[in-house]
Amino acid sequence: MNTAIGVIATGSYLPDTVVGNAEVGEAAGVTAEWIERKTGIRRRHRAAPHEATSDLAARAALRALEQAGLTADEISYIVVATSTPDHPQPATAAIVTDLIGARRAAAFDVNSVCSGFMFALTAADRMLRADAVDPERPAGQGPYALVIGADVYSRILDPADRKSAILFGDGAGAVVLGPVPAGTGGITTSLTTRGDQHRLISVPAGGSRRPASADTLAEGAHWFTMDGRGVRGFVHENLPGAIQALLVRAGVPGRAVRHFVPHQANGVMLAEVWPALGLDTARMHLALAHHGNTGAASVPITLDVVHRRGLFAEGDLTVLSAFGGGMSVGSALFRWAPTRHARPARIHTGSLVPEAATREPALAGAR
C-alpha cells in the first residue's frame, strides 16, 4: 500500500470586514504610507462581533473538504493551530468538529503561536503515516486529516500599539492531508523552540500565572505584546539555519525548491532575510498586502491562494516555514501532489486575493 502522505486540498476564509491602513494608523499614531513602507501591508480583515476563531476555522475547513470531495465524517483527525482560542477550554478543535459535523474525528489544539500550523501539520502527518499502514484499511479509503490554522488577533490587540496593531488581521486556512501517489507528498519537517526567548512575544495575563482581575484589566495586561526589534533579530538569526536543517534532513539542495510559502509576518522583514535562506531559484509567495499577519492562519491562507491560482505543478518541491512566539520555528518540505479537484471551488470572495502570490513591487528580494 502507498503510505506517502501529502496535501490533497486547501481552503481559506477571510471575514467580510476589511480595514485599511488609514484606519489602523490613526489609532496607532502613524500614517497609512508609513505602515505600507515598514511592513508591505495595505489592509487586513476583521471578524464580525458574532464570529469566533472556531467559526473562521470551520468555514476554511468546509472549503478544503469541498475541494477534496470528502465529507467531514471521513476525517480521522482535526488539528487546529491557534493562539486565540474561543475559550481556555474546551479545545477550539472540538467546537469545529461540531460545526462541520465531523462525528468520527479525534480533535485537539496546538498553540505554538504563529508557528502553530507547522507544528500541527507535523503531528497530523505522523498520525496519518501510522494509520496508513493498517492492513485492515481498504485501499483508497484514507486516512485523512484536517489541519487548520485560525486566529482572531483583533480581539487581543491594543489599537494604540503601533508595533502590533498595524500588523495583524483575522482569518483561517486549512489543508486536507491524505494518501498521495508515490513520488509526491513525503512531508519532511524541522521544528525548534527557543524557550529562552519566550518573552519576546506574549499576552501577560489571563492564564494561571496571572489570572484575570480588575488589576490586570486596568494594567492592559491582556493585550498582545511584542518586542519588534527582538523578533526581527530572532528571525534573522534562526530562520536561515532552520531552512538549511530542513533541506539537509530531506537530502534536497536549495536550488531544487520551486516554491517558498513563509509566515506572512512582515513583508519588509521577509525581503531582508530572503537572500540568506539559500532558496534563490524558488518563488517566495507573499499575500500579506491584502490580509496582513493572520497568525497561525497565514501559511495555509497563502497556500490556498497560490493553489487556487494554479501555480503549483505536480511534483514541485515546496517549502513552508513559520516563526512565532515561544520562540519557535517550524518548516516543512514536500512534493506537490495532484489535488482532488484542481478547479477553484466555491469560496468566500474575500479568500481569493487577485494580486496575491506575485512579487510585491515594494519588496525588493521577494520572488
Please report, for the domain that includes residue 30, its CATH number.
3.40.47.10
Contact by Cβ (8 Å): 299, 118:
yes
In a domain, 194, yes or no: yes
What does each C-alpha distance from 142 to 3, 6, 21 come to in angstroms? 10, 12, 44
What pTM, to 2 d.p., does this model score?
0.90
Residue 216 neighbours by CB under 8 Å, 6+ apart: 204, 205, 206, 210, 222
What is the reported pLDDT for 341? 55
Number of domains the chain contains: 1
Measured distance CA(175)–CA(77) in Å, rounded: 12
> pLDDT by residue for the chain (367 residues), tens digit each?
447 899 999 999 999 999 999 999 999 999 999 999 999 999 999 999 999 999 999 999 999 999 999 999 999 999 999 999 999 999 999 999 999 999 999 999 999 999 999 999 999 999 999 987 665 665 556 799 999 999 999 999 999 999 999 999 999 999 999 999 988 899 999 999 999 999 999 999 999 999 999 999 999 999 999 999 999 999 999 999 999 999 999 999 999 999 999 999 999 999 999 999 999 999 999 999 999 999 999 999 999 999 999 999 999 999 999 999 999 999 999 999 977 654 443 333 333 333 333 333 233 333 3
Would residue 364 count as lying in a domain?
no
310, burial (CB in 10 Å: exposed 0-12, middle 13-18, buried 19+): exposed
How many Å apart are CA 142 and CA 153, to the nearest integer? 34
| Amino acid identity for residue 147 in this structure | V
How many angstroms separate the Cα of 205 from the Cα of each of 83, 208, 211, 217, 223?
14, 8, 6, 9, 8
Q: Would 361 be classed as within a structural domain?
A: no
pLDDT at 182: 87
262 located within any domain: yes
Domain span at 260? 5-351
Q: What is residue 362's DSSP assignment? A: T
Alpha-carbon span 292 to 21, nearest angstrom: 10
Q: What string of DSSP letters covers 79-111? A: EEE-SS-SSSSS-HHHHHHHHHT-SS-EEEEE-
Catalytic residues, by residue number, are 114, 263, 293
Domain presence at residue 362:
no
Give a yes or no: residue 33 inside a domain: yes
Angle subtended at Cα 81 by Cα 76 and Cα 83, rounded to the nearest 5 degrees = 150
- Residue 357 belongs to a domain: no
**178 phi and psi angles, rounded to 5 deg:** -170, 180
In a domain, 281, yes or no: yes
Written in H, E and C, the secondary structure of 163-193 is CCCCCECEEEEEEEEEECCCCCEEEEEEEEE
Using DSSP, state whether 317 is helix, strand or coil: strand
At 139 the pLDDT is 55
Q: What is the residue whose three cell numbers read 500541527?
A: 120
